[in-house]
Amino acid sequence: MLRSFLKVPTFPVATVVLTGFLLASCSSSDDSSDGDMAGSSPYVGTWASGCFQLDSAEYSDETIVITAETFTYSFNTHNVADCSDEPMAFASGQIRGNYTEFSDTTTDSGLTAREVSYTVVTTALADGSVIDGPLDGQTIQDIVHIDGSDLLYFGEGDFEAKVIARPTALNLDLGFTRQ
């Protein structure tokens, strides 16, 4: 989901929505004022994507852990469709950072989503190489939506687009399930 911003050497960029990586906490209150509202967030916890195919011949499973103020996005790239093989170290890793929530917005499809921003703190691939994606200190704009209480979606678009402008549509093709 968040994978679209990753440009790992030796394999094509996946077009899965960035959002995942970067995660957001959304407030369950009706307060729509700007500022950090993570304390009352229904998104605090661990979320997983399950195994899905990237745009290439690879497969991925992704996990996002959200605390009151931070996110940790972990991604593993596999050669096997059920992600049961060992992840490829040059294409698996972790991104950590902080997030801020803003007000609710209505998406192009009419769903309510929370506007969020992520600030990247660290990025690392399992083999020690550098991710050609978000840079430490960079801020990404996004939207996040929870369907019920256990399915999380992020905005459409890739990393580069989200640095410039917040998306207005959700990627409903890939959800993260509460663990």
Indicate yes or no: pTM above 0.85.
no
Give the pLDDT of residue 159.
64
In residues, how long is the chain? 179
Among the residues of 10-168, which ranges form H helices? Answer: 159-164
Measured CA to CA in angstroms, residue 4 lies from 17, 93, 113, 155, 171 at distances of: 5, 14, 20, 12, 12
pLDDT 10s digits, 118-163: 888 888 888 888 776 667 788 888 999 999 888 989 888 776 677 7
pLDDT 10s digits, 36-86: 444 467 888 999 999 999 988 999 999 999 888 888 999 999 999 999 999
Structure tokens at 169: 């549509």
